[in-house]
Amino acid sequence: MTDKQKRIIAIVVAVLALGLLVHMTRKNLGSEEFAANTWTLKDSETGELVKIPTADLKPYPMLNPKTGKQTLCVTELCLWGDECRKKGGTHVIMNEILKKEGPTKCPVCGHVVRFRNPVPPDYVPGEE
C-alpha cells in the first residue's frame, strides 16, 4: 500500500466518524425535542398520568381513551416536599380546573400549589 492510498483511507475513516458523530448528536437532540413537545395530564378520577403530544392537546378536560370519560386535566408540578422531590415532582390538578373552592394543596406534602408553580429556590434539577 502506498502512502497516498493510506492517506485516502485515513480521510475516509475520518469522514465516516464525523458523519456518525453528527448522526448521534441529531438523534439525541431529536429525543429532547420530543420530550419538550409532550404534556403530562392527570386523570381527575383515577389519578393516572398520561403523556399527550402537544399537537394533540384539546380543551380540558380531555377524553381518557382508557376510561372513555373526559377526565384528563393539566397539572402543576410540586417539588416542595421531600417525598415530592424524591419522585421527581407530584402532578397536582388545580382546584380551579376541578371547580373546587379554596387553595390547591399538594396531596403528598400539603404545600399550596399555584398556577405556574415555582420550584423551591434550593431545588437542583435532577437531584432526585
Rounded distance between C-alpha atoms, residue 126 and residue 8, angstroms: 45
Phi/psi at 3 (5° precision): -60, -35
The residue among 53 and 118 lying less far from Zn ion, judged by its C-beta, is 118
Min. distance of Cβ 90 from Zn ion in angstroms?
A: 5
Rounded distance between C-alpha atoms, residue 91 and residue 58, angstroms: 19
Q: How many residues bind Zn ion (CB under 5 A)?
A: 8
The residue among 44 and 75 lying less far from Zn ion, judged by its C-beta, is 75
- Can residue 73 be called a binding residue for Zn ion (CB under 5 A)? no
Identify residues 91-120 at the interface with Zn ion (CB under 5 A).
Answer: 106, 108-109, 111
Min. distance of Cβ 62 from Zn ion in angstroms?
A: 24
Given candidates 41, 73, 74, 78, which one binds Zn ion under the rule CB under 5 A?
Answer: 78
The residue among 64 and 75 lying less far from Zn ion, judged by its C-beta, is 75
- What's the grid cell of residue 36? 419538550
Min. distance of Cβ 99 from Zn ion in angstroms?
A: 22
- What's the grid cell of residue 9? 483511507
CA torsion, ordered 72, 77, 78, 79, to nearest 10 deg: 140
